Amino acid sequence: MFFLVGLGLFDNKDISLKGIETLKNVDKVYAEFFTSLLFGSSFESIEDLIGKKITVLDRTQVEEESVFLDEAEDADVALITGGDPLIATTHSDFLVECAKRGIDFQVIHGSSIISSAPAISGLQAYTFGKVTTIPFPDLEYNYFPKSPYIAIEENLKMNMHTLVLLDIQAHKDKYMTINEGLENLMTIKDNLDYEGMIQEDTLAVGIARVGSADNIVKAGYIRDLIDFDFGGPLHCIVIPSDLHIVEAEYLVEVAGAPREILDDL
């Protein structure tokens, strides 16, 4: 049997009891850490918790060889991943493969940036539009893909908030910061041939280390957040659309937004 186990948001204590029990009971545990990572814990701390060694795979071993699925035909095998499984396409392919080969499978969910970042931003889950990601620019060609800027604008036009994820290149230990993400958006804005909807005076929420005790949720105008020190990864951004009074009050009281945003309501 094949178990796809999510480790949750931040450290080795974000996994569920169900996840821990599963990892203790299976014959073998594999990990892939290129799609998502835990920041708050060493790898070994997870091994200590479950009392067995974890075999770490690189991208080729996961995507092309899938040795863990061969083993799952005769044994109980788990693959662990950061966050909630199946957010990355790779994982849904494994379940397709299991279904085709008649291997039973179970998914053990975990806390995910997809629900937790909107939640901790204080904005209503129902008023978020499409999620977008800011990729690292190609500096050699001075190329900044416009797609995230356009995605936020499309949400704003329909009065929807946007969760903006920031690029991760885990193999290079590179994690885009909120500051870099906002600078990116401003560079894209400067190169538009029209007046973009996201400007230096647009309200944004920077969210760092969701799931950790020292997480930061800081709301402010882009021109102010762009130099704010949010500390270590992972970072993400929320760009709010029109605010309900309850949302605005949260941003002011909990996330330190300028009190004047309450005047505009």
Positions touching a second copy (CB under 8 A) are 6, 8-9, 11-18, 20-21, 49, 84-87, 89, 92-93, 95-96, 98-100, 106-107, 109-112, 114-116, 118-120, 122, 124-133, 154, 158, 160, 210-211, 213, 246-247, 249-250, 253-254
Strands 2-6 and 105-108: parallel
- Burial-class residue 125 by CB neighbours within 10 Å (0-12, 13-18, 19+): exposed
In angstroms, give the least distance from the CB of 7 to a second copy: 10
- Tell me which H or E stretch contains 34: none
Residue 135 Cα to chain centre, angstroms: 13
Q: How far is the CB of 66 from a second copy (least distance, A)?
A: 15
CB of 50 to a second copy, least distance (A): 11
* Least Cβ distance, residue 124 to a second copy (angstroms): 7
264 CB-near residues (< 8 Å, 6+ apart): none
42: its two tokens: 């060493």
**Which of residues 188 and 251 has its CB atom nearest to a second copy in the complex?**
251
Question: Cα 112 to chain center, whole Å?
Answer: 7
Between 11 and 183, name the residue whose CB sits nearer to a second copy.
Answer: 11
Residue 126 or 194 with smaller CB distance to a second copy:
126
Task: Give the nearest distance from C-beta 140 to a second copy in angstroms.
Answer: 26
Residue among 40 and 192 whose Cβ is closer to a second copy: 40
Nearer to a second copy, 14 or 180 (CB): 14
d(CA 205, CA 216): 10
> β-strands 235-239, 203-208: how paired?
antiparallel
Under 8 Å between Cβ of 187 and 245: no
